[in-house]
Structure 1
């Protein structure tokens, strides 16, 4: 019996003929239907033949509807059953992880995409299923993308008669149509009630989200906007916030609302709270919700939406080996979905907590999870499907190569795939558990060590992170969950029972050994072997993957020598990760869990300014034991010395004045004449070390040995001897130049662009032209010195100086230095390096 005929007269009804025609013809379709048009409830009932609808199929059909979240799956099934006047499980049932309510006569089954993914791995043909509807595909969850790709394969290879619908309110319709093999796009034009947009940005700037952090000032502003909306509008208020913590903070700021009830809806909320929200209430309510309320759910009574503009998306820090959720700006598509909640039953309003000018800068759609998430579970699914690199799958976005490579490394480490990336028997068992491969590994391997039940209980804790109030000690959180009466504890018990039954059956009776701390540590270390960590002082730990992590002040783990880090993040501005959940372990447990990371080898390195040779036993980046190495491998010594030269430069060698000047002369010739004169820059010398620093380098064993190597003699090997140019070194870049006085003055090549000749002015009398070197191509810069040795003039054009500059220098200096000659005509004067008196004596004796 249909309970509410009016409820079946929804806008999507008009699109049913086109949808059914597409399914009868090509066999697939993309259904675009705005929120509130009935795509989630009316379409499955019509496709199953449970209600009369225009253009509906003849006969009975079995329909599976895939929803992205458990709360949406339960709500959709309950709504459809209510419309039919039945209990859930009769004609319409649902299956989510750990819960199945489906009777033998059910013709519509609502499942989560994760459940459908597991079902496809067990039964690729989906025997007995006629139509699959993938709902809310615009959210681009990885499981949904994977399910769609697998179903395209099933239709192509096994069951061409299987019908497939991709349904969404806001999506890349043409992209999905392409994925489904050119499927028709069927649109339902909604008659949603108008929704007024009210822009309500904070009065003062707030800090943008970073990691999991949200500026408290923004949350205070959101709470004030909720109060404003209650005052200005009628009906219930639905407020969107990014996560559970933000919901709790805003709820705490909404005290004193009188008869208005404040409810919190999120994935962790107890089922009775979720049901109460969806059932409606005669009184006025404020519903604080995460993005679970964006799609597939109608919250009765809502006339106003307050949108914080934030959402949470998965992110992976491959460099630190950390996976976490990150707070981001919600997309334009999410904003439209959220606003639509206000117009489901009557005209409404949406208060957006950002400026209108910012709206156009928001991303159009949420980031596809395949682009940003940890892909280990996805890679295991594709390996089980027979396509390890996912190259043959119909995906809107291909998986990033780097993320897939990292995922395959994880799978290989836990024994889920072989060297070629093909799934192993163990990998198949892990995939069927319905967990991330890391947790599946922990469940399977820990059973033999601590017993299946205890392993399952700890893995259940890790599969859904415990509330923060449970603390950061995994063993203590385990005890809290056992005695807890909250929604999390109830879900934990259900999952623990499921995992116990899904565990290693032949290990189910294995006796548990050790206390709760040891059990929790063993399981966590098996799940995250690269995150076993050893204390390095000050509450800081070094993980096997090389990342440092800090305990929070007052942590229950303080003082532990070894821990296994289960959950970590990196706070704003922090250089290290922060341990959010971990367990104490001992070194034996760390070694056992991370055995592939154990190594023992000779290490010779440049450290602390000298060569250090050690025999080191490591667990990844963590040093376990060290002893000095007396006779290291010469090749390792050589590489370490080269590292020292790269780090500290060739200044480690013995550089006499002659050696430094030779390098400067060669740099000058390289700059002005080019090849075959060698490049003697630091990088070039490192690149040609074999040519100029052998055999001296091969004999060195420490820093002091490098300091005894004659750099000048070594540099001589780089001279162009083969071309014969080497013999012209003194001609092209002479060490000294003879000046008119007969003195041989050293040339300064420290600036290869401007070689300098510093000489007393009187010694250059009679020289009309500036001396040139490098085969006459480069004039030297002449520093004409006073009798005291200070530059009186600088010129690269002596002729011009004698004509124009000398007179001013003569006028300034001859009174100060009367004993030295200052002729009026320097071009005709006799050059000298002496005073006038000595010049006269020298001339007389001559």
Structure 2
């Protein structure tokens, strides 16, 4: 008789497909201490693999999940299999909450919690194995945790077992990344999925999925209509995937009145409402969810999935210092993962809100966060580990150099790292807070100014992403203090207590500044984001942030409208929009702004491009915000050129006078660059803007305004880029015109991917081969025109055209244009410019 609940369960395990591959997993762990488990949804990998490892290794098994909701659900599932409450054999830990005890052998944690433990105790004392579940999601935390664990195994704990698991993991890459020599063993579980019918339900032709404001209401109407169809056409509960909490609520509202319980599911809901969505009820259910239900979670009873085909990804605009989430198409791997939810318990169906043709255009895997996200916290973790640039770590993808440079710059400004990238004592203190480095810095510095409690309240509000109606953070804070609905759904109060504990006994108790809640909130926000301190522009309709980005409040009724200064916590800039939209902010005044953003205060003589003019002033500024200024007469020419160049950088090359000759020369140079490469110059927008001083500098020094700009000879400016002595061959290699057999000199069009010669067909009789340029490397694409100058044929193989295409063209056109030559033998016929009869 088994008294050990683990042994009892494994002696008679649930009937799940993963059971068949557990011996292979345990064998790989015994032989190598490593394994990659690849198993479709529903095979039971999250359920049984950790329990089997716990029975086989010494020490606790730590299992990571990407989200807190998944952590709690997985822990409850494992504990229920053992017939125990959570906190005994199976426990869990998320930020600010832990339920485990001395008898806990399997602990489910968020990846962020694991990272904190690794930084505090790299040896992971008492841990025998780490299971990285759902590693296909490629979050920053998951990639970093995997790399640090490989480093720990190599240098500190060769006995530590490491297992990576996912349904759609890039198994070969992962096996190589975590390897200690030869690739790690890959253990595959055959799918238990029942067949899932695919139904393609693209939106009507005029319905756009997204616009610059996000997912369109019309597309949410379409998703809701697909759900109604699914309820009518299929049995079982319906699981709906949309990208975010706002879309969850939007679809749920549109389903009012259906004959089913509509349950929202996302990470911002209170635990009780999350449990309602995850627990089967007496009536049929429609669970409308974000990606939290894509993996790890089991939603029982689901036989139908309706997939909107959208996902949220972090994006960092390094130039403007704005980070946020963008809506993108789901990857094919994500779509398979979602569809698999319909086949766990029996045959099912997936309604995909896109076409089968669009499916082939989806990326195979989601883009790793390291390629798109703000890397400031990631860079601080690397610095704390002792590898500021990540050198020597088994990262799945190297972070982009520009993003890492931006992150390093931000950390230096916080005092978290030194010039060499090494972490400072202040950096370690910031890291210990367990929050975004900017928020941690604000907590530390603001606690002595406004008091630790008030600082923790504001930082907690910012870190749990509380919604601020009208953008007003002070109103949101007061609602949280009153116990408003978001206080419980976001775990704000628990986060406040955690942050106060993180400050430690040195956090202070008495504020040094006597500030109202409004200004205290603004000061904390400004300390977190000094570059987003914003002043009202003249006219009072929008703001200018210290970073130089314009910003506007989201609604006319916002209580913040008209305030002279704001501390902006969150802003985003949609495609095609000049100004960012302020999502949340708090009041500020000039004194607090200059105090919080002291590092941005500067006094200098500046020459800038503004409103189409060169403006020269002696200024006192807070970043891009001028506090005072006076006109500067006769500014240096070099500063004038730099100012106009900066205007070009902001407004783009379109502000220059691109007349026909300059456009044609640029196209010819672009053709030579793509065909011959160096030393022919890159004349794309990015390259020209980066090298503006070289080719445009002499002209810019004479510019004082838009009129001067329009006098620039752009053709002459571009010629400054010509390489010598190769420039002497420009007209030979990329001629403006080609002489054709009729004697005409016809202009070449370089605007497309291949140079085009559009010429009347009669003018090229006798031409046997397609002309080639660029030293014979590039054939010209001939657009052979009818007498009415309409394309009769397009060819890059003239010889073949004469033999096979021309007879058909001749037969079709000779009757329509009888006054023009249509000889039977174009090889020997005399070319003609105008009307000429056959002989």
Secondary structure of 1:40's counterpart equals helix
Contact 2:64 2:109 in 1 (8 A): yes
> Could you tell me how far apart the structure 2 residues matched to 1:472 and 1:338 are?
34
Query: What are the residue-to-residue correspondences of 1:617-696 with 2, within 5 Å?
Result: 617-629=620-632, 637-640=636-639
> Could you tell me how far apart the structure 2 residues matched to 1:609 and 1:363 are?
42
Relative to 1, partners in 2 of residues 1:538 and 1:644: Cα closer, same or farther, differing over 3 Å?
Answer: closer
- The question of 1:538 aligning with 2:540 is answered yes
Query: What are the residue-to-residue correspondences of 1:795-814 with 2, within 5 Å?
Result: none
Contact 2:263 2:276 in 1 (8 A): no
Q: Which residue of 2 aligns with 1:48?
A: 54
Q: Which residue of 1 aligns with 2:733?
A: none
Q: Which residue of 2 aligns with 1:278?
A: 278
Contact 2:480 2:486 in 1 (8 A): no
Aligned residue among 161, 171, 174 for 2:172: 174
Q: Which residue of 1 aligns with 2:261?
A: 261
Q: Which residue of 2 aligns with 1:356?
A: 356
> Could you tell me how far apart the structure 1 residues matched to 2:500 and 2:266 are?
26
Secondary structure of 2:240's counterpart equals strand
Relative to 1, partners in 2 of residues 1:36 and 1:507: Cα closer, same or farther, differing over 3 Å?
Answer: same
Secondary structure of 2:127's counterpart equals coil
- The question of 1:568 aligning with 2:568 is answered no
> Could you tell me how far apart the structure 1 residues matched to 2:493 and 2:237 are?
34
Q: Which residue of 1 aligns with 2:594?
A: 591
Contact 1:210 1:327 in 2 (8 A): no
The number of aligned residues is 651
Root-mean-square deviation over aligned CA pairs: 2.8
Relative to 1, partners in 2 of residues 1:489 and 1:274: Cα closer, same or farther, differing over 3 Å?
Answer: closer
Q: Which residue of 2 aligns with 1:159?
A: 157
Q: Which residue of 2 aligns with 1:333?
A: 333
Secondary structure of 2:471's counterpart equals coil
Contact 1:133 1:165 in 2 (8 A): yes
Q: CA deviation at 1:329?
A: 0.5
Query: Deviation digits for residues 299-350 of structure 1, max 9, x if unmatched?
Result: 1111111111111111111122111110111011111111111111111111
Q: CA deviation at 1:191?
A: 1.9
Q: Which residue of 1 aligns with 2:187?
A: 186
Q: CA deviation at 1:506?
A: 1.9
Q: Which residue of 2 aligns with 1:10?
A: 16
Relative to 1, partners in 2 of residues 1:608 and 1:516: Cα closer, same or farther, differing over 3 Å?
Answer: closer
Query: What are the residue-to-residue correspondences of 1:43-442 with 2, within 5 Å?
Result: 43-49=49-55, 57=56, 60-181=58-179, 182-210=183-211, 213-258=214-259, 260-442=260-442
Query: What are the residue-to-residue correspondences of 1:393-792 with 2, within 5 Å?
Result: 393-468=393-468, 470-490=469-489, 491-503=491-503, 505-511=505-511, 513-536=514-537, 537-552=539-554, 553-604=556-607, 613-629=616-632, 637-640=636-639
> Could you tell me how far apart the structure 2 residues matched to 1:115 and 1:149 are?
15
What is the TM-score of this pair, normalised by structure 1? Answer: 0.73
> Could you tell me how far apart the structure 2 residues matched to 1:646 and 1:279 are?
61
Relative to 1, partners in 2 of residues 1:28 and 1:540: Cα closer, same or farther, differing over 3 Å?
Answer: same
Relative to 1, partners in 2 of residues 1:597 and 1:692: Cα closer, same or farther, differing over 3 Å?
Answer: closer
> Could you tell me how far apart the structure 1 residues matched to 2:692 and 2:105 are?
77
Relative to 1, partners in 2 of residues 1:289 and 1:7: Cα closer, same or farther, differing over 3 Å?
Answer: farther
Q: CA deviation at 1:690?
A: 12
> Could you tell me how far apart the structure 1 residues matched to 2:301 and 2:699 are?
84
Q: CA deviation at 1:220?
A: 0.4
Secondary structure of 1:583's counterpart equals strand
Q: Which residue of 1 aligns with 2:37?
A: 31
Q: Which residue of 2 aligns with 1:667?
A: none
Relative to 1, partners in 2 of residues 1:303 and 1:645: Cα closer, same or farther, differing over 3 Å?
Answer: closer
What is the TM-score of this pair, normalised by structure 2? Answer: 0.74
> Could you tell me how far apart the structure 1 residues matched to 2:156 and 2:436 are?
28
Q: CA deviation at 1:646?
A: 8.9
Please tell me whether Structure 1 or Structure 2 has the larger radius of gyration of its CA atoms: 1
> Could you tell me how far apart the structure 2 residues matched to 1:396 and 1:160 are?
21
Relative to 1, partners in 2 of residues 1:81 and 1:225: Cα closer, same or farther, differing over 3 Å?
Answer: same
Secondary structure of 2:145's counterpart equals helix
Contact 1:380 1:411 in 2 (8 A): yes
> Could you tell me how far apart the structure 2 residues matched to 1:690 and 1:236 are?
66
Q: CA deviation at 1:271?
A: 0.5
Q: CA deviation at 1:572?
A: 4.7
Contact 2:58 2:128 in 1 (8 A): no
Q: CA deviation at 1:61?
A: 3.8
Relative to 1, partners in 2 of residues 1:27 and 1:641: Cα closer, same or farther, differing over 3 Å?
Answer: closer
> Could you tell me how far apart the structure 1 residues matched to 2:640 and 2:464 are?
50
Relative to 1, partners in 2 of residues 1:543 and 1:686: Cα closer, same or farther, differing over 3 Å?
Answer: closer
Q: CA deviation at 1:211?
A: 5.4
Contact 1:211 1:326 in 2 (8 A): no
Stretches of structure 2 lacking an aligned partner (at least 5 in a row): 648-688, 709-839
Stretches of structure 1 lacking an aligned partner (at least 5 in a row): 50-56, 649-682, 707-846
